Structure 1
Amino acid sequence: MILPIVAYGNPVLRKVAVDIDADYPDLKQLIANMWETMYASNGVGIAAPQVNKSIRLFVVDSKQIIDNLEEDEKNDYPGDEGVKEVFINARIVETNGDEWPYNEGCLSIPKVREDVYRAETVTLRYQDEHFKEHTKTFLGVTARVIMHEYDHIDGILFIDHLKPLKKRMIKSKLEDISKGKIRVDYKMSFPK
């Protein structure tokens, strides 16, 4: 089932999400719905707060980015093959490498894209959908997508990484989003 994506301005996007265990109600269905919602809205990742659940859960499919790169573009992300994975109760162990810019967007903040600087790699400790423990290091665009989604479960949005001038320049767009004055081709839930 495609779920409505929570729009900028909803308080759930600013909460630090809570850990869950294998007894979380209807978790398997929620994960399936998150995948369906993400693909229906042309996303590469989605976090539970974006579907109005303040829990430490997100899904990422960066394979679709890597698979759609031109051959010469693949040199920009050496060693990054992409992942399609579920991340539960994730914690960042460390980030490494130089920060580099990439034009990011967010399903909860439609029609706003800005360059965000993030580290080259991220090491994450997390559980998969079977609650098996993992500690892995991700790099390139995959690391970026993971850090973006991870921010969501900590109540942080990509716009929080922007310089004050950039934030002022997009202020009216953000106000329009929070008031529901925007059209998108996927289901959205706007703040009341």
Structure 2
Amino acid sequence: MTTTSSTTRRSSHLSRYFYSLRQERGLQPGQLADLLGASDPARAGHVIRSFELSGAISEPWLERLSQALQPDPAELERCHQLDQRDAERDEAQQRQQWELWADQPIEPVLTVRYIPGVCGQRPVPRAFCNSREQAESWCIDELRRCRAKGVLIWSRRQRTWYEQYGHSPRRQEIRFS
């Protein structure tokens, strides 16, 4: 199953399967919560229904539901494989969309951090946009003048970070994660 954090799973096939198991047994979410021995059946029923609709559930809740509904292991594996396939397809589509977005040119800009919480942006003058090195040199001069930290956004994929007064420039490549 696709993991969105160390304790939360998301899966549409799995949630639909558990929904069908609950329906086959003629149980409402609150009744299933009672079977689970929940101290607050209304809240637990909400967790169950949220899982059925969104696919998001924590590992402990999934284990409790599995104990109560006794799903078929082969069907669980099938749901897992379908969810994994869907997650990989979705990630590939997101990556492709991000790549198209990231490849579009932008006007370079310097974001100046004057003090914590107060920033401003200054477009890099066209005369300094012939190369990244020229733009970085202009940024250092600007940051010295402002006595500030900043970041040059050269493209959607490339940044240069500066410490106070434009010191210690370090380049960063932005990638789809």
What range describes the TM-score normalised by the shorter chain of this pair? under 0.3
Query: Which has a greater percent of helix?
Result: 2
Provide TM-score, normalisation by structure 1. Answer: 0.25
Higher radius of gyration, 1 or 2: 2
Q: Which has the higher contact order (CA 8 A, sep 6+)?
A: 1
Query: Which has a greater percent of strand?
Result: 1
Provide TM-score, normalisation by structure 2. Answer: 0.27
